[in-house]
Amino acid sequence: MSETKVTVIYDNPVDPEAFEAAYEAEQLEAARAIPGHTRFETSKVWPKEDGSPTPAYRMIDLYYPDYDAACLAVTTPEAGVFFEALGRLSTGGVRILMSDVEVPQG
C-alpha cells in the first residue's frame, strides 16, 4: 500500500505581510501537531519569471502511511485547531487535497 498525502494549497493572501506574521505560529505549529504523519513538508511558491504572482502562494504537505491514517488524522482535535486557523488566514482562498503517492521516495 502506498502513502497518502494531505496537501494544503494557499492562494495569494489579500495581505501577504499579515499572513506571514501569523503563518508559522498559527499554521505550521498547528500542522506539526496533527498526529500520525510520517513526513511534513512546507514550500513557498516562486513568482512567475516576470515577478508577478502565481495563483498559489504556499503549500503544506503531510504524509501518512495510508488513506485510513490520513482520514483519522484530519478528524482529530489538533486538526480542528489547524483548520480553524486556516479559515481565518487563507484570505485569498485555499485548496485541500488528499492524494495517493504513487511513487514513494526512498
* Residue 70, domain member (yes or no): yes
* Residue 38, domain member (yes or no): yes
* Residue 60, domain member (yes or no): yes
Rounded to 5 degrees, φ, ψ at 18 are -65, -40
Which residues are CB-neighbours of 48 under 8 A, at least 6 positions away? Answer: 54
Model's pTM, two decimal places? 0.89
Query: Domain of 95?
Result: 4-100
pLDDT tens by residue, 40-88: 999 999 999 998 888 899 999 999 999 999 999 999 999 999 999 999 9
> Could you give the number of structural domains in the chain?
1
Q: In 3-state terms, what secondary structure has residue 11?
A: strand
* Residue 24, domain member (yes or no): yes
* Residue 105, domain member (yes or no): no
- Residue 51 sits in a domain whose CATH number is 3.30.70.100
